[in-house]
């Protein structure tokens, strides 16, 4: 049989103690590194001013109303309601012959338009086709708030 030496349990104990100290030392050194990093000073931001609700411009209001009219006319269930909506929409224009320009292509700021039409013809087109494929990209108003020119683009 082998004799166990006294050194064997003692060396195991010392080895375990050494690993324990190294493990604890490694954890402490990480903590020290983390703790040593200075915390950024809180930045005092000026109190945000309450946002002022801006009134929409005349053009934005007109665009919203016209987009609604276009949708109602295209989706109307009968001819009478479409004609009624057309008459309401026409009241927003300077006259029934207000030009409607439809942009079919734009490159380098140069726009190509479809054949010009009038607002009355365009509204009747919406009523007949029941499709609203365009959106308003520009609207021009006169001094009294009536639309004098309308520019549309494909969706």
Domains and CATH numbers, the chain: 58-154 (3.10.450)
Is the pTM of the predicted complex or chain greater than 0.75? no
* Mean pLDDT, residues 3-27 taken together: 66
Q: State whether residue 154 is helix, strand or coil.
A: strand
Work out whether the CA dihedral 75, 79, 81, 85 comes out positive or negative. Answer: positive
Mean pLDDT, rounded, for 24-37: 55
Q: What are phi and psi of 28, to 5 degrees?
A: -65, -40
Q: What percent of the chain has pLDDT over 90?
A: 62
pLDDT tens, residue by residue, 62-88: 999 999 999 999 999 999 999 999 999
At residue 21, does pLDDT exceed 80? no
- CA gap 69, 82 in Å, rounded: 9
SS3 5: coil
User: What's the CA gap between 95 and 19, in Å, rounded?
Assistant: 93
Say which residue, 36 or 45, is predicted with more confidence: 45
Q: What is the pLDDT of residues 41-56, one digit of tens each?
A: 666 666 666 666 788 8
């Amino acid at each position: 049989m082998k004799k166990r030496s006294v050194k064997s349990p003692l060396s195991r104990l010392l080895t375990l103690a050494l690993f324990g100290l190294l493990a604890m030392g490694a954890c402490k050194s990480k903590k020290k590194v983390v703790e040593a990093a200075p915390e950024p000073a809180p930045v005092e931001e000026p109190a945000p001013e309450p946002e002022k609700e801006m009134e929409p411009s005349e053009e934005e209001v007109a665009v919203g109303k016209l987009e609604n009219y276009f949708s109602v006319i295209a989706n109307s269930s009968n001819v009478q309601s479409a004609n009624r909506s057309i008459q309401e929409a026409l009241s927003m224009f300077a006259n029934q012959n207000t030009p409607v320009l439809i942009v079919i292509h734009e490159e380098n700021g140069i726009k190509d338009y479809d054949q010009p039409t009038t607002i009355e013809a365009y509204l009747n087109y919406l009523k007949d086709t029941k499709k609203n494929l365009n959106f308003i990209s520009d609207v021009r108003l006169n001094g009294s708030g009536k639309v004098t020119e309308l520019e549309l683009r494909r969706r």
